[in-house]
Structure formats: C-alpha cells, structure tokens
Copies of this chain bind each other. A is one copy, B any other.
Amino acid sequence: MMTDAVDRILAQWEKARPDLDCRPMGIFGRISRASRVFGSRMEQVFEKEGLSTVEFDILATLRRSQAPLTPTQLYQTLMLSSGAMSTRIDQLVKRGLLQRQASDEDRRSNRVALTEAGRHLIDSTLEAHVENQHRMASALDSDEQHQLACLLRKLMTDEQR
C-alpha cells in the first residue's frame, strides 16, 4: 500500500505520543490538505477567466438558481457577511457581469441578476471547471468516487456533538 505525508505524520505521533489514538487525523488531515490542494487547482481555472473563487461561487449560485437572488440570500448561501457580499457585488456590477434590479415588493431590497456577459462567462467557466474536477477525481474509479461522496455526506450528517 502507498503511503503519503499524512501516514508519515501518523507514524511520528505513534512514536512521540503512543498513548494517543490519532487515527482520525487520517481523515481530517487529508480533508484539510485536499481542500487546499484541490482548491488551489480550481482557483487556477477561475483565474484564467479573471474570477476569484468567491466570485465564481456567486455567479454559479445565480446560474444554478436560474433566477435573480437578493444579497441576503447570496450571503447566507455563501456564508459571507452582508458587508463582504455588498463589496463583491459592487465589483461584479462594475465589470458588467451582474446587475441590481430594484424590488417591487420591498423597496429596501433588490435582486441580483446575471447580465448577458455574466451568464456567458459563468457558463464557459463552469464547463472548464467541471472538466477540471473530472481530471482531479480520476485517481478513483466510478464506484470509488461514489463511495467517497457517500462517506463524506455521512461524516457531516447531523452536526453531531
């Protein structure tokens, strides 16, 4: 069996603190590393289109919703503060990728919508992104990919104590 950096870390802990059962680090250490490594690879795809990861997420959220969303819906979905979201929307509006539409029902609010240019950009970036993800997952066969997704879903269920 192949060993990786996390296996070596676990072996070190076994020597330094043999009283501790550090096996869960085999999961969380790899999740953390995978998030950094794969996140940076995805970022490279977004950067080719001039987007940051957060900007991609905003455009993608609007694209898959197939409808304009309020800033509040967006920052709750993306786990950002309202202030951070306003700043992001501003910049994307300036670049002609988003537009704010006044709301009829509540005049405090507005709806953020993709422009024609924004829709074209997110559609083409998304295609490159999905292709990239298929490449990144290719070390696993189709069954293994399914198993991994199911185990991760189960790991995160119920927000256990």
Contact = CB atoms under 8 A, between A and B. Distances in A.
Nearest to A63: B16
A137 B153 contact: no
Contacts of A27: 133, 137, 145, 148-149, 152
Interface residues of A, number: 62
Nearest to A133: B24
Interface in A20-39: 20-28, 30-39
A4 B139 contact: no
Q: How many copies does the complex hold?
A: 2
A interface secondary structure, majority: helix
Contacts of A134: 21, 24
B24 A156 contact: no
A156 to B, nearest CB: 6
Q: Which 5 A-B pairs have the closest CB atoms?
A: A35-B35, A26-B149, A24-B133, A30-B152, A12-B64
